Amino acid sequence: QKEVEQNSGPLSVPEGAIASLNCTYSDRVSQSFFWYRQYSGKSPELIMSIYSNGDKEDGRFTAQLNKASQYVSLLIRDSQPSDSATYLCAPQRGSQGNLIFGKGTKLSVKP
Amino acid sequence: DVKVTQSSRYLVKRTGEKVFLECVQDMDHENMFWYRQDPGLGLRLIYFSYDVKMKEKGDIPEGYSVSREKKERFSLILESASTNQTSMYLCASTPGRDYGYTFGSGTRLTVV
């Protein structure tokens, strides 16, 4: 089983729609979870963190965490063409504390 | 804003050369990391450090070493560069265990 699994995409959504990005992880001890956005040719940029089960909202972004199912997701409301990027899920490794990155989901928002 | 600076954006080196990649952060962060990113393989952890003069191996440390003599600086060393070390190298820092990382802009290294 891979440590972090994400659908590679591309996920294509029309402008104004909700984009839903999903991630599963294998480390049951993980306590902290992060979402990064990476534009082509750029380095990853932190956009959301979540530590407790449930939803966390920040502007157009909502992160959802279910530790029992080892599942974390990111919703982007009112998607814009500028949201087109690769989104990386990164749970914290329970034993060492460093982040394990998924390979990312490529999102394309069509005008 | 936290700034993580990597000394070179692009680097071309010859096989067998010793290569130094430098990373400096300006926010007194305790923890620093080196990753490489390759198409289809994602981000893979090479080495990390939670304190000055401390280092821990990540998932792919072979062929690499690191140095952290000062808190703000974390250097990645390729002892004898090989073509399979051609990659994008990303440095990151964080103030503590449960915080997200801030990444540098990356160094694209080509070994010929």
Q: Which residues of chain A, if any, have pLDDT below 70?
A: 1, 95
Radius of gyration of the CA atoms of chain B, in A: 13
Give per-residue pLDDT as tens, B30-82. 999 999 999 989 999 999 999 998 999 999 999 999 999 999 999 999 999 99
Residues of B in contact with A51 (CB under 8 A): 98
Chain-chain contact of A49 with B100 (C-beta, under 8 angstroms): yes
Q: What percent of chain B has pLDDT over 70?
A: 98
Contacts of B62 (CB under 8 A, 6+ apart): none
Residue B1: its pLDDT value, please? 67
Of A103, A47, A45, nearest to A75 (Cα)? A47
Size of interface A-B (CB pairs under 8 A): 48
What ranges make up the beta strands (E) of chain A? 4-6, 11-14, 19-25, 33-38, 45-50, 54-58, 61-66, 71-76, 85-91, 105-110
Chain A contact probe: residue of B38, B51, B101 with most A CBs at under 10 A: B101
Q: Given A88, A97, A102, which is nearest B97 (Cβ)?
A: A97
Give per-residue pLDDT as tens, A51-79. 999 999 999 999 999 999 999 999 999 99
What is the least distance, in Å, from the CA of A40 to any CA of chain B?
12
